[in-house]
A and B are shown apart, each in its own frame.
Chain A
């Protein structure tokens, strides 16, 4: 196990440098000096701010030295100071907003698992039944529907027409004065639509994947063996098949991290949730250079962590990988 872990982490090192290289390249993507482009786009930028930037990014130095300097700052999580009027360090802003995004994404990931695994397994054990066919239909629609559109429709229905849920935000204005139950309901009512909708896209994908994985397992010899041993169909499915079918699904969950993080930009924007996605969007709109680069890099590392996490949990549940030769 330990040697597997060590090998797995070693493969992250080239990826780590790749990520920093691409992030670094994006900064230099704009034609001419990125600072000039910024100044053109943002006429409010003062000469002093321009100078500050040039020295921050070391634009007066050669490229490799610049990269080295950027890497060193990055190692201490220093992404510089935001261009916005408050001039606060980018890392502070990320630190404030990231937990909100993580909570929402974790909740929707949990929801995806709780819903997709049972329905995928059920429809694989009853292939071509009415349930299975409706799942197929749901999957097709789930893949094709723009979730931000679904969010708009949900807002029109539940917030405008029925007035059941608040239209946006994270907390009500009178949050502090609410009773404990009131506070809990306030949080739930603000989070319910964002979590449900960001789970929706992943739901279609994972239930389809779960169904495929389960069908694959049901064809294996050990399932036939379990059946011929006289086990009930229930035991065969839930004790023998389900466990094995879950293995590859764990990996898919890790791989869905970038999609969820990317999607948070749209959801946080629609529902006015003060998370990292919305911060990123504000940064893009106001061309807040250090902020955009900081969040882009952090997002990539979260993905890397998600993949690592998936691999480790896979190794934990699958002895073939834990003990065996090539990982």
Chain B
């Protein structure tokens, strides 16, 4: 999908390269975490409770004496999972509904688009919280809910692409040759509409990571002892007056991660479609 001209434009933008590099490093850190020479993120040490950052514990320790550095590293695994799975769910739903609405038009289009409008009326964070109130808060639920409440943008995007692509000559000629609707949608239109979806997906991952961290921070996301950046921040809030390091480092990790996904996504969008530069 990335051709010469696009790669050239990406290469000339140091911010995009920076974003891409950090995202790559996050993959390495998340996948390689068990093989790194760091403390066990779960091991409790009653003799090292709330120690300030130092040689043994570069990010200090939490209220149970666990090493914050290794908990932040293991937290990267959670954010990677949540980002990819929830955005994957959102994209599948968005593509499906957007393709149906854009290709078939008529009452189906009307119905689906009204559904999108209604979903956009709910403050997303309220909707997520309300659903969690009825279900067990764990990582699978969180991923599902973030995905189920985050597909509307992709749906609108795919619909718009389908609306314009279905009138194009190559689609008309495919239809004239007697190609079936399903085949036209999947083989002819969809591949041509994936570029903006890819950009939306990368930006969506950033949003999903932010949402997960907020939920875990509130205690209704990833549950301790599993380390996530959000739930380390919860102990940061509980120990606000004594242990600044519990608040500082996980938050920085979120900031750098989300920033990198955003830089990568926007850089790719500008490279793929210069007309969109600066819009969001």
Binding site for B on A (CB under 8 A): 14-15, 18-19, 21-22, 26, 29-30, 34, 37, 140-141, 143-146, 148-150, 152-153, 155-156, 160, 167, 205, 208-209, 212, 215, 257-259, 261-263, 265-266, 269-270, 280-281, 283-285, 287, 289, 292-293, 295-296, 299-300, 303-304, 307
Which among B122, B236, B255 is the interface contact of A145 at CB below 8 angstroms? Answer: B255
Q: Are A263 and B125 in contact (CB under 8 A)?
A: yes
Residues of A within 8 A of B45 (CB): none
User: How many Å lie between the Cα of A284 and that of B132 in the bound state?
Assistant: 8
CB distance from B200 to the nearest CB of A (A): 15
Q: List 9 A-B contacts (CB under 8 A).
A: A29-B134, A144-B258, A146-B210, A167-B240, A257-B123, A266-B217, A283-B133, A293-B130, A299-B122
- Of the listed stretches B23-31, B93-101, B113-121, B175-183, chain A binds B113-121
User: How many Å lie between the Cα of A289 and that of B214 in the bound state?
Assistant: 22
Is B124 an interface residue when CB atoms closer than 8 A count as contact? yes
User: How many Å lie between the Cα of A287 and that of B210 in the bound state?
Assistant: 24
Q: Are A285 and B125 in contact (CB under 8 A)?
A: no
Which among A26, A144, A303 is the interface contact of B131 at CB below 8 angstroms? Answer: A26
User: How many Å lie between the Cα of A149 and that of B121 in the bound state?
Assistant: 27
Residues of B within 8 A of A15 (CB): 114, 117-118, 121
Best-surrounded residue of B132, B134, B247, B250 (most CB of chain A within 10 A)? B134
In this complex, the interface size class of chain B, counting residues with CB under 8 Å from chain A, is 35 or more
Q: Are A14 and B114 in contact (CB under 8 A)?
A: yes
Render B216-248 as a binary contact track against A, CB cut-off 8 A, 1 for contact.
011110000000000001001100110010011
Q: Are A148 and B121 in contact (CB under 8 A)?
A: no
User: How many Å lie between the Cα of A270 and that of B237 in the bound state?
Assistant: 8
Task: Indicate whether A265 sits within 8 Å of B114 (C-beta atoms), given known contacts A144-B206, A146-B213.
Answer: no
Which among B121, B132, B233, B262 is the interface contact of A140 at CB below 8 angstroms? Answer: B262
Residues of A within 8 A of B254 (CB): 146, 149
Residues of A within 8 A of B206 (CB): 143-144
Residues of A within 8 A of B118 (CB): 15, 18-19, 21-22
CB distance from B161 to the nearest CB of A (A): 22
User: How many Å lie between the Cα of A172 and that of B118 in the bound state?
Assistant: 41
Q: Are A300 and B121 in contact (CB under 8 A)?
A: yes
Which among B132, B217, B262 is the interface contact of A148 at CB below 8 angstroms? Answer: B217
Which among B122, B251, B263 is the interface contact of A300 at CB below 8 angstroms? Answer: B122
Residues of A within 8 A of B255 (CB): 141, 144-146, 149
Closest B residue to A270 using CB positions: B237
CB distance from B237 to the nearest CB of A (A): 6
Q: Do most interface residues of chain B lie in helix, strand or loop, or is the interface mixed?
A: helix
State the total of A-B contacts with C-beta under 8 angstroms.
146
CB distance from B145 to the nearest CB of A (A): 10
Closest A residue to B134 using CB positions: A30
Is B6 an interface residue when CB atoms closer than 8 A count as contact? no
Render B125-150 as a binary contact track against A, CB cut-off 8 A, 1 for contact.
11101111111000000000000000
Q: Are A30 and B280 in contact (CB under 8 A)?
A: no
User: How many Å lie between the Cα of A299 and that of B217 in the bound state?
Assistant: 22
Binding site for A on B (CB under 8 A): 114-115, 117-127, 129-135, 206, 210, 213-214, 217-220, 233, 236-237, 240-241, 244, 247-248, 250-251, 254-255, 258-259, 262-263, 278-280
Q: Are B129 and A280 in contact (CB under 8 A)?
A: yes
Which among A14, A29, A140, A153 is the interface contact of B263 at CB below 8 angstroms? Answer: A140
CB distance from A168 to the nearest CB of B (A): 10
Task: Indicate whether A140 sits within 8 Å of B259 (C-beta atoms), given known contacts A148-B217, A266-B218, A296-B122.
Answer: yes
User: How many Å lie between the Cα of A19 and that of B248 in the bound state?
Assistant: 39
Residues of A within 8 A of B120 (CB): 258, 303
Q: Are B218 and A295 in contact (CB under 8 A)?
A: no
Closest A residue to B128 using CB positions: A262
CB distance from B32 to the nearest CB of A (A): 24
Closest B residue to A303 using CB positions: B121
Q: Are B247 and A153 in contact (CB under 8 A)?
A: yes
Residues of B within 8 A of A265 (CB): 125-126, 129, 218
CB distance from A224 to the nearest CB of B (A): 21
Task: Indicate whether A266 sits within 8 Å of B134 (C-beta atoms), given known contacts A15-B114, A300-B121.
Answer: no
Residues of B within 8 A of A18 (CB): 114-115, 117-118, 121
Q: Are A262 and B262 in contact (CB under 8 A)?
A: no
Closest B residue to A259 using CB positions: B123
CB distance from A121 to the nearest CB of B (A): 15
User: How many Å lie between the Cα of A262 and that of B122 in the bound state?
Assistant: 9
Q: Are A152 and B233 in contact (CB under 8 A)?
A: yes
Q: Are A258 and B244 in contact (CB under 8 A)?
A: no
CB distance from A109 to the nearest CB of B (A): 15
Q: Are B119 and A284 in contact (CB under 8 A)?
A: no
Residues of B within 8 A of A156 (CB): 240, 244, 247
Residues of B within 8 A of A205 (CB): 280
User: How many Å lie between the Cα of A263 and that of B120 in the bound state?
Assistant: 15
CB distance from B122 to the nearest CB of A (A): 5
User: How many Å lie between the Cα of A173 and that of B247 in the bound state?
Assistant: 28
CB distance from B263 to the nearest CB of A (A): 7
CB distance from B127 to the nearest CB of A (A): 7
Residues of A within 8 A of B127 (CB): 26, 296
CB distance from A84 to the nearest CB of B (A): 14
User: How many Å lie between the Cα of A193 and that of B127 in the bound state?
Assistant: 26
